[in-house]
Copies of this chain bind each other. A is one copy, B any other.
Amino acid sequence: MWADSEQHELRDGQADRPRRRATIHDVARLAGVSRQTVSRAVNDKGEIDPVTKERVLEAVRLLDYRPSRFARGMVRKGTVTTGLVIPDLMNPFFPEVAAGVLEAAEQRGWQVVVWDSRTDADREREALDVFSHQADAVIGYFKNDDAELGRLLGGVPLVLLERGPQQTRFGAVGIDVAAGMEQGIAHLVAAGHRRIGLLDGDGLSGPGPRRTAFLDEVRRHGLPVDQGWIVLCSEHSVAGGAAGMSRLLEAHPEVTAVVGFNDLIAIGATRTARRHGLRVPEDLAVLGFDGLSLGELVEPALTTLHIDKRRLGMLAVEQVARLRAGEAPLTGADAWVIPQLVVRASA
């Protein structure tokens, strides 16, 4: 009967390494059954004789058969894959956002492909180019403008992280920076500070919400404003913050408090200040903006505006879900995370 053919296939299978992956058909031939029966065996469906099943499974093992996820995806829908673009995996902020995305995605049975853009616009574009073909939706941080984004991934739903919902034609999930800054500046003012500096991020795409919110609040409290008190940190890292603080200290030693673009920058600032002989917070108060758990480990523990990063990620997934369902995306407070002031020791 099919014994011949099996023998042949057997030899064939182990002779040279298979240049083409075995298909369900190969297995069927080797086991002497039909495709459907093979399918039943590998998918643990019913309607199959245990003996036959074992024989099929043996053939599967022999040929190292694995069903093609493409062919499978073609016929039974449902596998959703979303791309996640992160600017810097070394900054603890982003893994936590990612954790939120992963958790929410898993609950829906979605998969998440992660891409580290390292804050490089070209690498962003690469990611988008790939995802436009391979993903059902994209979540991420982007420096490229809307037009470019739209052009690159034409049609694929996109949810932007940390951009005001108004600023973009895609879905967005953001941080209510203004609300955060309000708490932060109020705290500093209450402590008697009047000359407050800002260690801002790279001002590549204009002032950015942190700076505007900072200026708003400072003005609202009737404090003096000096453009020299705002220094840009090209790197959003401890080193970047340290460098920024050096420049600030040199040019404007009169500031008595600084708020950092993020916790890493604030920590870098603290270290530089101390190295310059300043006591924190007595001589210089430092306020972070992130709420990294790392902040409670440093000396002095960092006072900061804590952001629920996990929630941020989960909200983004929810936005994607709405986009995909054709519903209107969340807006306003529903799509925002509000920072909470956490008072520790540095301010």
Contacts and interface: CB of A to CB of B under 8 A. Distances in A.
Interface stretch (A107-115, A138-146, A182-190, A208-216): A107-115
Given A72-B133, A112-B114, A155-B64, A90 B99 contact: yes
A70 B66 contact: no
A27 to B, nearest CB: 12
Interface stretch (A7-15, A46-54, A164-172, A290-298): A290-298
Contacts of A133: 67, 69, 72
Nearest to A326: B17
Contacts of A113: 81, 111-114
Interface string A66-110: 111111111000010100000001101011101100110010000
Contact of A73 (B70, B156, B298): B70
Nearest to A91: B95
Contacts of A154: 60-61, 66
Interface size class of A (residues with CB under 8 A): 35 or more
Output the residue of A65, A69, A98, A298 with the most chain B CB within 10 A.
A69
A297 B263 CA distance: 12
Interface in A190-204: none
Of the listed residues A70, A134, A293, the one surrounded by the most CB atoms of chain B closer than 10 A to its CB is: A70
Nearest to A100: B89
A154 B60 CA distance: 10
Nearest to A325: B17
A102 B74 contact: no
A155 B114 contact: no
B70 A98 contact: no
B90 A293 contact: yes
Given A130-B111, A238-B297, A294-B297, A156 B66 contact: yes
Contacts of A92: 92, 95
A94 B114 CA distance: 14
A102 B79 contact: no
A90 B96 contact: yes
28 contacts: A17-B326, A60-B154, A61-B155, A64-B155, A67-B133, A68-B74, A69-B70, A69-B133, A69-B134, A70-B74, A72-B133, A89-B102, A90-B96, A92-B92, A95-B95, A102-B114, A102-B115, A103-B116, A106-B115, A111-B134, A113-B113, A114-B114, A238-B293, A267-B297, A271-B297, A294-B297, A297-B297, A298-B299
Interface of A: 17, 60-61, 64-74, 79, 81, 89-90, 92, 94-96, 98-99, 102-103, 106, 111-116, 130, 133-135, 154-156, 238, 267, 271, 293-294, 297-299, 326
